Amino acid sequence: MLDLTTHSRHDEARQGETYAPFANDPNQYNKKFYIESYGCQMNFADSEVVAAILQEDGFGATRNFEEADLILINTCSIREKAEQTVRKRLTELRKVKQDNPGALIGVLGCMAERLKAKFLEEEKLVDLVVGPDAYRTLPGLVTEAESGQKAVNVLLSREETYADIAPVRLDSNGITAFVSIMRGCNNMCSFCVVPFTRGRERSRDAHSIIRECRDLFSNGYKEVTLLGQNVDSYYWVDGSVPGGETVNFANLLERVALIDPSLRVRFSTSHPKDITDEVLYTMVKYENICRYIHLPVQSGSTRVLQLMNRTYTREWYLAKVDRIRAIMPDCGISSDIIAGFCSETEKEHGETLDLMEYSCYDMSYMFFYSERPGTLAARRYTDDVPEEVKKRRLEEIVKLQNRLSLESNQRDLGKIFKVLIEGDSKRSADDWRGRNTQNKVIVFPKGNAALNKGDYVMVKVTDCTGATLLGEIVPA
């Protein structure tokens, strides 16, 4: 069995994680909701918007689904396995109805969007089905469901960005936060269900993004990650005045960086076709924009990339990696890779391994191809690489990445990094855990220094594993 959990930010990564109530006392509310999120960071960010909408409607959050009046599960459809996990979890959550028949169960997110009302036929004990653009209607839908009707809203929108809603930070470390800057996706990568579940791409009002980041900073947060499926195509036009200002992604990055030099700025995800020199030079200009780019390649073969509709070739991608390294030699780069896409040959798989080696990825999220109903690939191509071949190729990719990650960490031995402390290390309260600008996790003894989470500290790397750097505090 392959264990990819430590390397995935997607469905496997934070599965089943539950949310704690925010600072508010849940007892001040007469009703309680429980929310569980799956999938990408955008889904987690959406759950914080949902929490804000529900709190406004008189619901307090609870960590314990057994005491909830409303149980929500924010779902992911990216791979079949992600959907299976959700279904399994639903069977467990539904048992609550035996003791508390009045409790409502709602399915949110990408699976709700993909399956729509079919969900209610398939899963009879589900009361609400709400798509990613319909969360503002949740209070009304809950009332409908309370009166015994099944409530569904899966309308996608061309405008909705929830710009004016201040997310309720759930299960937060109080130091790092995600901020959605856009929704949807206009790229039709042939394997991908996201354009169907999230709808058309739209960029959020730049002023509301800056405001949210500023509020986070004044509440003690030290790092924001700007989120979108394709952040480099962020483009906001102020439609409120004729000839209103326009803001592209580089402009937005700069504005967020200017909030305060001690507020770190990260972003995800960059599509290789859209990341510009202007973005790279903006990164160079501000020390607080982190030197880290997640640049998913998907495949190292030009023919496969073409079938995937990624709109770049192997050479074009490699030139982009060269460009990043030329402008920022110390920039961390990571990737997403799919093994065994339709008709991929052994030689083409070899090209992926070769490209990984050239790109020296610090880290990758690796998957085998999972056909999604309705996508271009499902309609046009045959999912013809046998499962055992897909798995073997994935295993080779994971093995190579493990070596590349270890080598990357070994190159850091002896180096000194500025680290943002995020909290205690998972293993021991005697150690801090933080990250450097390249997004690498560093664990180091607290020693006698009077430090707190949210502080920056200089750390010298003394040892490493493939996943973590180990170090010691050195004078600034």
Question: Of these, 35, 40, 107, 168, which contacts ligand F3S (CB under 6 A)?
Answer: 40
Our finding on whether 76 is near ligand F3S (CB under 6 A) is yes
Rounded CA separation 67/83 (Å): 25
Rounded CA separation 4/323 (Å): 30
Site for ligand F3S in 107-146 (CB under 6 A): 109-110
**Closer CB to ligand SF4, 43 or 172, in the complex:** 43
Our finding on whether 78 is near ligand F3S (CB under 6 A) is yes
Our finding on whether 13 is near ligand SAH (CB under 6 A) is no
**Closer CB to ligand F3S, 77 or 408, in the complex:** 77
Q: Least CB distance from residue 437 to ligand SAH, whole Å?
A: 21
Question: Of these, 7, 79, 264, 440, which contacts ligand SAH (CB under 6 A)?
Answer: 79
One symbol per residue from 258 to 297: x for binding ligand SF4 (CB under 6 A), - otherwise; what is it?
A: -------------x--------------------------
Closest C-alpha among 66, 64, 60 to residue 32: 60
**Closer CB to ligand F3S, 36 or 351, in the complex:** 36
Our finding on whether 75 is near ligand SAH (CB under 6 A) is no
- Residue 195 contact among ligand SF4, ligand F3S, ligand SAH, none, beta carbon within 5 to 8 Å by kind: ligand SF4
Q: Are 111 and 77 spatial neighbours (Cβ–Cβ below 8 Å)?
A: yes
How big, in percent rounded to 5, are the helix, strand and coil portions of the chain? Answer: 35, 20, 40
Question: Of these, 370, 392, 396, 468, which contacts ligand SAH (CB under 6 A)?
Answer: 370
Strands 104-109 and 70-75: parallel
Our finding on whether 339 is near ligand F3S (CB under 6 A) is no
Q: Least CB distance from residue 194 to ligand F3S, whole Å?
A: 5
The number of beta carbons lying within 10 Å of the beta carbon of residue 20 is: 12
Our finding on whether 298 is near ligand SAH (CB under 6 A) is yes
Pure H helices in 100-202: 110-115, 118-122, 138-146, 194-198
Contact range with ligand F3S by CB under 6 A, out of 47-55, 71-79, 300-308, 388-396 = 71-79
Our finding on whether 194 is near ligand SF4 (CB under 6 A) is yes
Provide the b/e sequence for 63-83 (b: ≥16 CB within 10 Å): eebeebbbbbbbbbbbbeebb
CA 124 vs CA 18, 51, 90, 128, 232: distances in Å: 24, 25, 11, 11, 41
Q: Are 41 and 170 spatial neighbours (Cβ–Cβ below 8 Å)?
A: no
Our finding on whether 185 is near ligand SF4 (CB under 6 A) is yes
| Residue count, binding to ligand SAH (CB under 6 A) | 18
Pure H helices in 147-274: 194-198, 206-218, 249-257
Q: Is 32 exposed, middle or buried (0-12, 13-18, 19+ CB in 10 A)?
A: buried
Query: Which pair of structure tokens corresponds to residue 366?
Result: 């690796």
Rounded CA separation 184/203 (Å): 9
Q: Is 393 helix (H, G, I), strand (E, B) or coil?
A: helix
Our finding on whether 228 is near ligand SF4 (CB under 6 A) is no
**Closer CB to ligand F3S, 198 or 202, in the complex:** 198
Q: The tokens 């493939």 sit on which residue?
A: 466
Closest C-alpha among 24, 92, 100 to residue 58: 24
Q: Least CB distance from residue 317 to ligand SF4, whole Å?
A: 14
Our finding on whether 405 is near ligand F3S (CB under 6 A) is no
| Residue count, binding to ligand F3S (CB under 6 A) | 14
Our finding on whether 192 is near ligand SAH (CB under 6 A) is yes
CA 70 vs CA 66, 123, 193, 436, 456: distances in Å: 10, 16, 28, 39, 40
CA of residue 231 relative to chain centroid, distance:
12
Q: Least CB distance from residue 217 to ligand SF4, whole Å?
A: 29
Site for ligand SAH in 256-275 (CB under 6 A): 269, 271
Our finding on whether 230 is near ligand SF4 (CB under 6 A) is yes
Site for ligand SAH in 306-365 (CB under 6 A): 336, 338
Our finding on whether 372 is near ligand SAH (CB under 6 A) is yes
Q: Which residues contact 313 (CB under 8 A, 6 or more apart)?
A: 302, 305, 306
Q: Least CB distance from residue 298 to ligand SAH, whole Å?
A: 6
Closest C-alpha among 272, 219, 276 to residue 253: 276
Our finding on whether 369 is near ligand SAH (CB under 6 A) is yes
Closest C-alpha among 79, 109, 152, 61 to residue 90: 109
For the chain, report the end-to-end CA distance as a whole number of angstroms. Answer: 44
Our finding on whether 367 is near ligand SAH (CB under 6 A) is yes
- Residue 369 contact among ligand F3S, ligand SF4, ligand SAH, none, beta carbon within 5 to 8 Å by kind: ligand SAH
Task: State the residues that interact with ligand F3S by CB under 6 A.
Answer: 10, 39-40, 42-43, 76-78, 109-110, 193-194, 197-198
Task: State the residues that interact with ligand SAH by CB under 6 A.
Answer: 10, 78-79, 191-192, 194, 229-230, 269, 271, 296, 298, 336, 338, 367, 369-370, 372
Task: State the residues that interact with ligand SF4 by CB under 6 A.
Answer: 185, 187, 189, 192, 194-195, 229-230, 271
